[in-house]
């Protein structure tokens, strides 16, 4: 592998730095088992996902064949820390941020909610199958009329004999048309937002993928309606008591992962741009040799280094349960914002070819928009950080 110090004196032979993690020796910050995950997922992503993913992206189709190939890796069982899961997100996002987002849902939001708030019976019934990827799930909070203002959601459950009747809608739910959903709904009895495990096959659940979506194309984001869905008592997650001790906690966990997806987009842009600009010639020279291009390339690479350092630090803190809601929100906001800039610079560096899907950057540009917005928009995450810094809430 490329090491700057090992190559001192041999720089003439170095064509380009291919791997952005090599630059500030970021691999040195990883334990061996973390590197093992990183390289295993990289191998999978490059060999099994990269060759066909864009066919699914263009068709906005779920890549069943790639997801089936991911199953034998038993990755969800192995990625048991923030850094390990994060590295998996990074490597998948380098190929496609949609694939990485799909994996975030099935490895973090859904199983973590059941693990944290579910009963022993719920864990027995669902968790192993989720981690084996035998069942796929979505995490349903957002509604048509309530996005950022998520604590005002209006989907409700009403107590009936043996369970609850669920009514309402959910919007943008990734994997919303698969096997199960973790649904957040207002309990009409106490007005608290509580969590329920809902099976898609139950009567009254209707999920329709949202069409005409030009980002994260392979993720099946659904508009879901619930009409008098009977949810048995045993599918209410007993430890999700209210919004704070349910939704907020789940998002705090998952938001540590989102900037790893953003890091993957940045790395994907960097790697593709380096390949492109060291190949493409204009005015008889490689375009990578022009000063303006080098400034952009340096900006992309240093942004990745800074982003990585923030993300790994907040992930390590979260692992030790020392990261605050505000710190996690601030890192998510900053890194995803910088990722938009990186994607734009990368696209620009490729000229017209920058809009071709095979060159990654245009996909990065649109996908970065969603990563910047989901799990709390940039604005909301900045306000969460601001509230923590000042003690004053600017939104609720």
Ligand X SMILES: Cc1cc2nc3c(=O)[nH]c(=O)nc-3n(C[C@H](O)[C@H](O)[C@H](O)COP(=O)(O)OP(=O)(O)OC[C@H]3O[C@@H](n4cnc5c(N)ncnc54)[C@H](O)[C@@H]3O)c2cc1C
Residues at the interface with ligand X (CB under 6 A): 138-142, 147-148, 172-174, 216, 221, 370, 373-377, 379-380, 383, 395
Selection from 147, 383, 127, 376 nearest residue 258 by Cα: 376
Tell me whether residue 215 or residue 361 sits nearer to ligand X (CB atom): 215
Tell me whether residue 76 or residue 258 sits nearer to ligand X (CB atom): 258
Asked if residue 79 lies in contact with residue 85, where contact means CB atoms within 8 angstroms, the answer is: yes
Q: Which residue has the tokens 């059941």?
A: 114
Closest chain position to ligand X (CB): 147
C-beta of 184: minimal distance to ligand X in Å? 8
Tell me whether residue 107 or residue 277 sits nearer to ligand X (CB atom): 107
C-beta of 140: minimal distance to ligand X in Å? 5
Tell me whether residue 38 or residue 362 sits nearer to ligand X (CB atom): 362
Whole-angstrom Cα distance, residue 315 to residue 320?
A: 9
Widest CA span in the chain: 78
C-beta of 103: minimal distance to ligand X in Å? 13
Whole-angstrom Cα distance, residue 229 to residue 214?
A: 32
Tell me whether residue 174 or residue 354 sits nearer to ligand X (CB atom): 174
DSSP secondary-structure letter at 123?
A: I
- Can you list the positions of beta strands (E) in the chain? 137-140, 156-160, 163-174, 180-187, 193-199, 205-209, 221-232, 281-282, 285-286
Tell me whether residue 135 or residue 306 sits nearer to ligand X (CB atom): 135
Tell me whether residue 258 or residue 301 sits nearer to ligand X (CB atom): 258
**Which strand (E) or helix (H) includes residue 234?**
none
Write out the DSSP string of 285-333. Answer: EEGGGSHHHHHHHHHHHHHHHHHHHHHHHHHHHHHTT---HHHHHHHHH
Tell me whether residue 19 or residue 337 sits nearer to ligand X (CB atom): 337
Selection from 10, 15, 39, 12 nearest residue 27 by Cα: 39
Pairing outcome for strands 180-187 and 137-140: parallel
C-beta of 298: minimal distance to ligand X in Å? 30
Token pair listed for 333: 């906001």
C-beta of 338: minimal distance to ligand X in Å? 17
C-beta of 207: minimal distance to ligand X in Å? 12
C-beta of 170: minimal distance to ligand X in Å? 7
Whole-angstrom Cα distance, residue 34 to residue 23?
A: 18
With a CB cutoff of 8 Å and minimum separation 6, the contacts of 234 are: 119, 121, 122
Q: Which whole-number Å values give the CA distances from 205 to 86, 130, 155, 223, 255, in the listed order? A: 32, 20, 13, 11, 28
Asked if residue 286 lies in contact with residue 360, where contact means CB atoms within 8 angstroms, the answer is: no
Token pair listed for 161: 């004999």
C-beta of 206: minimal distance to ligand X in Å? 17
C-beta of 221: minimal distance to ligand X in Å? 5
Tell me whether residue 172 or residue 360 sits nearer to ligand X (CB atom): 172
C-beta of 185: minimal distance to ligand X in Å? 12
Tell me whether residue 70 or residue 150 sits nearer to ligand X (CB atom): 150
């Amino acid at each position: 592998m490329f090491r700057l110090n090992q190559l001192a004196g041999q720089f003439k032979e170095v064509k380009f730095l291919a791997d952005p993690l090599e630059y500030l020796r970021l691999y040195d910050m990883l334990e061996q088992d973390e590197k093992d995950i990183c390289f295993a997922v990289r191998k999978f992503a490059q060999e099994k996902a990269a060759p066909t993913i864009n066919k699914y992206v263009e068709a906005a189709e779920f890549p069943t064949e790639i997801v089936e190939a991911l199953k034998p890796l038993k990755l969800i069982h192995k990625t048991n820390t923030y850094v390990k899961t994060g590295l998996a997100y990074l490597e998948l996002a380098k190929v496609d941020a949609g694939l990485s987002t799909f994996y975030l849902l099935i490895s973090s939001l859904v199983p973590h909610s059941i693990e944290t708030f579910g009963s022993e019976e719920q864990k027995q019934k669902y968790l192993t199958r989720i981690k084996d990827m035998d069942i796929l799930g979505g995490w349903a909070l957002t509604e048509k009329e309530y996005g950022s203002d998520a604590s005002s959601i209006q989907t409700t459950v009403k107590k009936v004999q043996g369970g609850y009747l669920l009514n309402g809608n959910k919007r943008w739910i990734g994997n919303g048309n698969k096997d199960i959903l973790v649904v957040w709904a207002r309990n009409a009895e106490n007005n608290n937002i509580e969590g329920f495990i809902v099976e898609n096959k139950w009567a009254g659940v209707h999920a329709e993928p949202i069409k005409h979506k030009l980002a994260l194309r392979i993720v099946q984001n659904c508009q879901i309606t619930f009409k008098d869905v009977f949810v048995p008592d045993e599918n209410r997650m007993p430890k999700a008591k209210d919004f704070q001790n349910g939704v907020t906690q789940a998002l705090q966990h998952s938001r540590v992962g989102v900037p790893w997806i953003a890091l993957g987009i940045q790395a994907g842009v960097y790697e593709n741009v380096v390949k492109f600009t060291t190949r493409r010639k204009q005015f008889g020279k490689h375009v990578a040799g022009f000063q303006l291009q080098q400034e952009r390339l340096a900006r992309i690479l240093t942004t990745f280094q800074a982003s990585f350092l923030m993300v790994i630090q907040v992930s390590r803190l979260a692992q030790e349960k020392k990261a605050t809601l505000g710190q996690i929100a601030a890192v998510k906001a900053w890194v995803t914002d910088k990722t938009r800039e990186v994607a734009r610079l990368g696209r620009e560096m490729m000229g017209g070819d920058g809009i071709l899907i095979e060159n990654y950057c245009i996909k990065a540009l649109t996908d970065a928009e969603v990563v910047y917005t989901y799990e709390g928009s940039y604005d909301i995450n900045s306000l969460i950080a601001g509230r923590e810094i000042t003690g004053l809430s600017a939104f609720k």
